[in-house]
Amino acid sequence: MISQKAKYALRALVALARAKPGETMMISEIARDQKIPKKFLEQILLDLKHHGLLVSRRGKSGGYLLLREPSDISFGEVLRIIDGPLAPLPCLSKMAYRRCDDCPSEELCEIRRVFSRVAETTRKALDETTIADSLSTDRQHRIPLRVS
């Protein structure tokens, strides 16, 4: 399950992606439109800014805007920034691998084998789904989430 913080981050990015190119959005505007607590949103936007997804501008026409194209920002990237590794088990993490304390053999672990398939399918779907994909209303452009 993703955190509320990650959900807010994705909603904020979608809101920024809907803005006209080069047009900034104020934190208060995003918070109001997306029903996100303003103080919490400030922290989220700073995290995203520090990871190179957003830029902020000061002054009369200040606010936030996307630094990269919506098609270049994947859901997987955002979730890793906000929530950390996507792996359901520490022994499957690509970012923060850690051997499970109670597992005598990763090669023979039935649980790891099953969750390995789940993790790969999940990673693939999240890394191939972009903020731009979430804006599409055309069913042809949506990524099918079929698990085979």
Tell whether domain 1-148 is in CATH 2.40.50.140. Answer: no
Q: How confident is the model at residue 21 (pLDDT cuts 50, 70, 90)?
A: confident
Residue 129: closest CA among 4, 108, 121: 121
Strand pairing partners for 117? none
Identify the pLDDT of residue 61: 73
Q: What pLDDT was estimated at residue 137?
A: 64
CA 76 to chain centre: 5
- Give residue-wise pLDDT tens across range 64-117: 999 999 999 999 999 999 999 888 888 888 778 888 888 888 888 888 889 899
pLDDT at 138 over 70: no
Name the band, by pLDDT with cuts 50, 70 and 90, for residue 123. Answer: very high
Strand partners, 55: 65
Q: Note whether 2 and 79 are within 8 A (CB).
A: yes
Supply 74's token pair. Answer: 């994947």
Burial class (CB in 10 A: 0-12, 13-18, 19+), 9: buried
Which of 23 and 145 is assigned the larger pLDDT?
A: 23
| pLDDT in the model for residue 146 | 45
Domain map of the chain by residue range?
A: 1-148
DSSP, collapsed to helix, strand or coil, labels residue 128 as helix
DSSP 80-103: HHHH----SSGGG-SSS----TT-
* Letter string b/e over residues 120-134, b meaning 16 or more CB atoms within 10 A of that residue's CB: eebbebbeebbbbeb
DSSP-assigned letters across all residues of 25-69: B-HHHHHHHHT--HHHHHHHHHHHHHTTSEEEE-STT-EEEESS-
Helices (H) and strands (E) in the chain, counts: 6, 2
